[in-house]
Amino acid sequence: MKTVLITGAAGGIGTRLRSLLKGVYPRLILSDREPAANLGADEEFIQADLSDMAQVTALLDGVDGVIHLGGRSIEDEWEVIHAANIVGCHNLFEAARLNGTKRVVFASSNHAIGFYPRHRRITVDDKVRPDSRYGVSKAFGEALGSFYAEKFGLGVLSIRIGNIDDYPVDERRLSIWVSPRDLVQLIRIGLEHPDLRYQIVWGASDNARAWWDNEPAYRLGYRPEDRAEDHRDRALAAEAERTPNAVADYFQGGDFCAIDFDGPHPDQVA
């Protein structure tokens, strides 16, 4: 990888990755719909709207690998999700094909499978169970990545990110937390592993309470350096201050599951 692009570089995850990936690749391009804050003199930024195909095609000219973080990162009305995460995601993959880009690392989400109960341990082969419109868009992105890998030979890694932060902030995050440096390790696997065609992995650190079997990531060489349990006391103290919610506390997707929820009582869900 000589030239790597980060979309969504002005967002929370993108801002973290900017510093952690600086100097790893000869050229690191940052992009977002709005200018990123606190750009350094040595940082290259190109403003682009992912919903505009012409802008995205020009953005990927000469790019070897993409870290695709761009799009709406929370639940929203369908029109917003559709433009940012459906149209924008398609434009990104199609522009990668047109430009001969070698790799795309797609930032998927745990919300693509959020309606699994917390007592059930799952693998990447279990069917998607999105917990929100946002989760639906991430399941779409995973399917799109598989299509472009199988049809056109693009190397794609979809990372179902749990929660990236300096430490897990409540009990749920003890199961799904990923440290910034562990996420960077997964991203580099997606960009650099010689045998990658298409794979889904979980974006999670070494979490003793994990709900997910991350064997595919380990098979690709992932060796997380951080452990959620090292922050257990802080997380459980914060959990004690939360207001309980029967739906959010039953499903892996947490609060996203409770938004607009009008389904069966959690006790009736397998």
DSSP type of residue 163: E
What are the tokens at 199? 């794979």
Backbone angles phi, psi at 84, to 5 degrees: -80, -40
The H or E element that residue 69 is part of is none
Backbone angles phi, psi at 189, to 5 degrees: -60, -45
- Assess whether 134 carries a catalytic annotation: yes
Residue with token string 């003793």? 208
Q: Catalytic: which of 25, 134, 148, 222?
A: 134
**Residues 6+ positions from 138 with CB-CB distance below 8 Å:** 85, 108, 109, 111, 112, 130, 160
The Cα 10–Cα 50 span in angstroms is 14
The Cα 82–Cα 11 span in angstroms is 19
Angle of CA points 166, 230, 12, to nearest 5°: 10
The Cα 156–Cα 145 span in angstroms is 6
Positions marked active-site = 134
